[in-house]
Amino acid sequence: MPKLDGTHLPGRLAERLADLKAGKEVAARDIKSLLTDEQIAAMEAAWAEQQALRKVKRARTKEEEKELGWKTKREIHIEAYERAVKEANDGVLDELERLQLEATKRQIRIYMETIREALKAGKDKNVAVKLANNALTRAGLNRMDGQKVWHQNRRDREIWEMEQQIQQKARSEMTPDELEQIEIWEEHEKALKERRKKQGW
């Protein structure tokens, strides 16, 4: 299972908040699992205040409870989650910057370690650089030479093959006029690609 980070947190908090507002049963450990220690402490302090309020001021009806400021444990949890969602949304940009910095550090570390090991093994500098870029590709990171390399796992290959079969079947069922239009379009696309290549796009 992929590791959760701060970019996932707002969505998870919003889901849990929706469950609480809908009246669904949520276990105490699940309520606390997405909150920080400070948020849990604030939530528990709010509940302690409510318990103290109940001892001091008695209410006989729901209207009196509302007037006196009584809140249920669920209402305390909902308020805590509403604050947590706001804080998480406010912190998403910082989290994205942190993740970008971590990825950059990892990229540099892998690149430099691979070059150092290749040079230590007696490889040429150019070979060491190529090995380092290949290591970045395997790690799923951007290469330092700017080259784009696309991975295809087994599922991607299967889907691509299925798409090819569907296109071939559709092509075989076309009328001569439709085929002619497709061929004109393909020639146009090919000419555009060649023009872009000549212009260095």
Interval 14-51: pLDDT, tens: 888 888 888 888 887 888 888 888 988 988 898 888 88
State if pTM tops 0.85: no
Q: Where are the domains of the chain?
A: 9-90, 95-138, 154-199
| 169 three-class SS | helix
Task: Please list the pLDDT of the chain residue by residue as tens digits (201 residues).
Answer: 455 666 778 888 888 888 888 888 888 788 888 888 898 898 889 888 888 877 777 777 778 777 777 788 888 888 888 998 888 888 888 888 988 999 999 999 999 999 999 999 999 999 999 999 999 888 888 888 878 776 667 888 888 889 999 988 888 888 888 888 888 988 988 888 888 878 765
DSSP readout, 110-132? HHHHHHHHHHHTT--HHHHHHHH
pLDDT value of position 110: 94
Q: Distance between the two ends of the chain, CA-based, in angstroms?
A: 40
Can you list the alpha helix ranges (DSSP code H) found in the chain? 9-21, 28-33, 37-56, 62-68, 73-90, 92-120, 125-138, 154-172, 176-199
| CA distance readout (Å), 39 to 49, 76, 129, 192 | 15, 12, 48, 58
Contact 80, 42 (CB under 8 A): yes
Contact 59, 65 (CB under 8 A): yes
Copy the structure tokens of residue 75.
């209402």
